[in-house]
Amino acid sequence: MPKLYFDVAHTLAGSLVLLSFVMLYQRRLGALLNVLALHAAVLALSVAWQAHIQGAPHLYITAAIALAFKAIVVPMALRRMIVLLGIHREIETVTGIGLSMLAGIGLVALSMAVMLPVTAGADPVAREDIALALSVVLIGLLLMVTRRNAVSQVVGFMSLENGIVLAATGAQGMPLVVEISVAFSILIAFIVIGIFLFRIRERFDTVDVQALDRFRGERR
């Protein structure tokens, strides 16, 4: 396999990790949604490149789904939701940005330390892409844990799912039927999350998780 194939695949996967750190750094919802859209667009490029080097045409469909749904539909829907709910645009965090970034670096190091030895006998492209994909997944989890706003937690969930798709395509891809079912599952989950956010905002006049915890404590 030409060296260019490795370089481009690793550059795209590494760019996803970098954009995950950019998400951790954001303090405003608008900027966070912009990075989410870029994150999904880079994922689409990565999947399309994997389709090319693997000779797997069905992965082009996966790339198209990622570009249309995750890079365009989801960010636009979240923006619309923010406007309709009147959600505060500043993102409140459980820890400081600096500490979150340090935790993210630790998670990337952990991913490399765990996955590279385990996948020593795997295809060179898949080996490093899977390690980087695990980094994206763990940073997505970190984003969900360290953010108090429900919308930013949804963004963390979408970032996590991008990492899973990256890992699956790097490991010689998933069957098309699985990819389509995953896409529909994410769509359904997104619709349910949107409904819950509307209901929470209507009932409690906030989507701040900490405020909801305080209300639950007062009820007790």
* Alpha-carbon separation of residue 34 from 29, 37, 70, 122, 155 (angstroms): 9, 5, 11, 35, 11
**Whether the predicted pLDDT of 84 surpasses 80:** no
Most confident of 4-8, 37-41, 64-68, 145-149: 37-41
Most confident of 34-43, 49-58, 177-186: 34-43
Q: Which of 36, 42, 33, 55 is nearest to 13 (CA)?
A: 42
3-state SS assignment for residue 220: coil
- Per residue in 107-122, pLDDT tens? 999 998 988 887 777 6
Quick count: other Cβ atoms within 10 Å of Cβ 118? 12
Average pLDDT over residues 82-86: 72
At 23, the pLDDT band (50, 70, 90 cuts) reads: very high
What is this structure's pTM? 0.79
Between these two residues, 3 and 33, which has the higher pLDDT value?
33
At 150, the pLDDT band (50, 70, 90 cuts) reads: confident
C-alpha–C-alpha distance, residues 10 and 117, integer Å: 18
**Whether the predicted pLDDT of 47 surpasses 70:** yes
Query: How crowded is the C-beta side of 12, counted as CA atoms within 13 Å?
Result: 26
Q: Which of 101, 133, 100, 98 is nearest to 115 (CA)?
A: 133
59, 169 in Cβ contact below 8 A? yes
> pLDDT value at position 39?
95
Quick count: other Cβ atoms within 10 Å of Cβ 128? 21
Average pLDDT over residues 150-172: 82
**Where do the structural domains in the chain lie, given as residue ranges?**
3-213
